[in-house]
Structure 1
Amino acid sequence: MEKHYLKPDEAVQAIVENGRRVSTQRRSVTLILSLLAGFYIAFGAQLATVVTQDAAAFVGRGVASFLGGSVFSIGLVLVVVCGAELFTGNSLLASCALEGEITWGKLGENWVIVILGNLAGSLFFAWLMFESHLWENGNLAEHSIAIAARKCQLPFGVALIRGILCNWLVCLAVFMATAARDIAGKIFSCYLPIMAFVTSGFEHSVANMYFIPTGLLIAAQTDRTIPGLTWSNFFLGNIVPVTLGNILGGVVFVAFSYWFVHLKYRRGATPRG
C-alpha cells in the first residue's frame, strides 16, 4: 500500500536528494523560478493586506491576524505545489551541503540568485498592484502604509529575532510538505506553520520585499511622510536583519538539527538519552 507520508528521516533524505539539483540546474532556470516565488509570496501578502484592512474592528486584532495568516499561506502553497525557488525555504539546502551532496559555494550561489530573483519578483508585483489602483479602495492605502511603517521602525535586534522565529516555521512547513505524499497533505502542511508565523507577527524577508515597497509607493503617491518609512530603512533596517534571522532560523533549527539527528547519526553511533 502506498505511504501517505514520509517519516522524518525519510523526509530529510528526500530534501537532500532534491537539493542535488543545485549542482546541475541552469542559473537562468533558478532565476525564473525565484521570480515566480516572489510573485507567489506577494499574492499571499496582498491578499492578507486586503483581508486585514478592517477585520480588527469587527472580530478583534487576534482573529484578524489569524485570518491574515490563513490567506497568506496561499503563497507557500503555490511555491510548493507549482514549483518555485523561495529563499527562505532554500535554507533547508544547508542539509544537502552538510551531507556533502553539494558544495557550500554552490549553496551560496543559489541563495544569491534566489534572493535577488525573489526581490525582483516582489518589487515588480508591488508595482503592478500600485498601478492597479486597487489600493484606493476602502482602507487599503492607510493599512498598506501602516504595515510598511511598522516593519521599517523595528529595532535591528527585534527584526533579527522575529526573522529567526519566522523561518523556523517556514522551513518546518517545507519539511512537512516534503513528507506529505498528496496535494491535500502538502497544502495543509503549508497552511498550519505559515498561519502560525503570520498570526504571531514574525518577519519574512521575501514577504517584506512586497509589503514595504507597496507602502513606500503609496505613501509617495499620496504625499505622506511617515517616520522611518524610507527605502534605506527598507533594505538596511529590515531586509538585512530579517534575512539574517531567516537564515539562522532555517539552517540551525531545521536543516542542521534534522540532518544531525537523522543523517549524521545514521552513519555513526545511535544517539543516547
Structure 2
Amino acid sequence: MAYLAPSEFVTKMVDAGESKIFMSTRDTVIRAYMAGAILALAAVFAVTVAVQTGVPIVGAILFPVGFCMLYLLGFDLLTGVFTLTPLALIDKRPGVTLGGVLRNWGLVFVGNFAGALTVAVMMAIVFTYGFSTEPDAVGKKIGMIGESRTVGYAAYGAAGMLTIFIRGVLCNWMVSTGVVGAMISTSVSGKVIAMWMPIMLFFAMAFEHSVVNMFLFPSGLMLGGNFSIMDYFIWNEIPTVLGNLVGGLAFTGLTLYATHVRTGAKRNANVDVAAMRVAAE
C-alpha cells in the first residue's frame, strides 16, 4: 500500500531527526541553503500571482509548489528540524545530545537565511532593473508586507509581540503537519497532496514562517519598506522562530510521538473478550 500506519511514519520521524543530527556540517548547510532559496522563490511566485490576479487566495493555492520541491529533493527547513530532531533526543537514540540538536538548528538557520537572502538580492535586482529604477508592482507589494508585519506589530506593543508568536505557533503546526504528511505516503503524488493542504492553509491565513520571512523582510528593506533591520529581528524574526519551535514540537512532534510511539496503557485483551461474552449471554 502507498500509505503508512501512524506507528510506522512516526518511527520514520524519529529516524529522520536522528539522521539530521549526525549529518555533516557541509551537507547540513548545503541542504538548508537550497531549502531557503527554493522557498523564497515560491514566496515571490505566490506574491506575483496575487498581485497579477488581485486574488490573494490564488497565490496561497500555488505557494506549496516550493515546499513540495524542496522536500522531494531532500532539503531542510528550520521549521522541519524544530519538529523532528528533538524526537531523537526524547527517544534516547544513542549518541544524540542536546548539543547535537542545537548544532543542527544553528546550521540550518544559517543555511536557510543565506539561501533566502541570495534570492532576495536577485529578485530585488529583477524588480528594479539592477537598482536603476523604482520597484515594480510586485516589488512594492513585498516592501509593504515587510513594513506592515514589523512596525505594524510594534504599534501594539506586547499584544503585537504575542500576536507574532501565536502566528508563528499556528504556522509551524501546519507546516510540520505537511512534513509529517509526506512521510505518510510512499508515492510522489501522495506526498505532494499531503504536503499541499496544510502549507496552503498557513500561507492563506498569513501565519508567520521564519524562513519565508528571511526572504520577505530583507527584500522589503531593499525595496523601500519603511522599517529597520532591528525592527525585522525584534518585531518579527525572533518571536516567529520561537513560535515556530513551539508549534512544530508541541502540536505535531510531541503529540504524535506520545500517542503512537509511547502509547498509553491498554486494557487486557483477554479480560475484554470475557466481558463481551458475559454481556452477550
Give yes or no for TM over 0.5: yes
**1:42 and 2:40 correspond:** yes
**1:116 and 2:116 correspond:** no
Query: Does the Cα contact within 8 Å between 2:39 and 2:212 map onto a contact in 1?
Result: yes
Distance 2:266 2:209 in 1: 36
For residue 235 of structure 1, the aligned residue among 233, 236, 249 is 233
Q: Which amino acid aligns with 1:18?
A: A
**C-alpha distance after superposition, 1:94-130 (max 9, x if no partner):** 2222111232221111011101110111111100111
**1:196 and 2:192 correspond:** no
Going from structure 1 to structure 2, the CA distance change for 1:23 and 1:231 (only over 3 Å counts) comes to: closer
Query: Does the Cα contact within 8 Å between 1:65 and 1:198 map onto a contact in 2?
Result: no
For residue 17 of structure 1, the aligned residue among 15, 18, 23 is 15
Query: Does the Cα contact within 8 Å between 1:98 and 1:259 map onto a contact in 2?
Result: no
**1:71 and 2:62 correspond:** yes
Q: CA deviation at 1:201?
A: 1.3
Q: CA deviation at 1:197?
A: 0.6
Distance 1:21 1:212 in 2: 32
Query: Does the Cα contact within 8 Å between 2:116 and 2:215 map onto a contact in 1?
Result: yes
Q: Which amino acid aligns with 2:89?
A: A
Q: Which amino acid aligns with 2:266?
A: T
Normalised by the size of structure 1, how large is the TM-score? 0.88
1:179 corresponding residue in structure 2 = 184
Please list, as runs of the form range in 1=range in 2, the aligned pairs for 1:64-213 lying within 5 A after superposition. 64-93=55-84, 94-101=86-93, 102-133=96-127, 138-152=136-150, 153-154=152-153, 155-213=160-218
Stretches of structure 2 lacking an aligned partner (at least 5 in a row): 154-159, 268-281
Normalised by the size of structure 2, how large is the TM-score? 0.85
Query: Does the Cα contact within 8 Å between 1:22 and 1:106 map onto a contact in 2?
Result: no
Q: Which amino acid aligns with 2:116?
A: S
Distance 1:141 1:12 in 2: 41
For residue 269 of structure 1, the aligned residue among 265, 270, 274 is 265
Distance 2:113 2:5 in 1: 34
Residues paired across the two proteins, number = 253
Distance 1:53 1:230 in 2: 25
Residue 190 of structure 2 aligns to a residue in which SS?
Answer: helix
Residue 264 of structure 1 aligns to a residue in which SS?
Answer: coil
Stretches of structure 1 lacking an aligned partner (at least 5 in a row): 57-63, 220-224
Distance 2:144 2:101 in 1: 36
CA RMSD of aligned residues (A): 1.7
Distance 1:196 1:160 in 2: 18
Q: CA deviation at 1:23?
A: 4.2
Moved over 4 A (4+): 134-138
Q: CA deviation at 1:55?
A: 2.9
Q: CA deviation at 1:138?
A: 5.0
Q: Which has the larger radius of gyration?
A: 2
Distance 2:112 2:21 in 1: 20
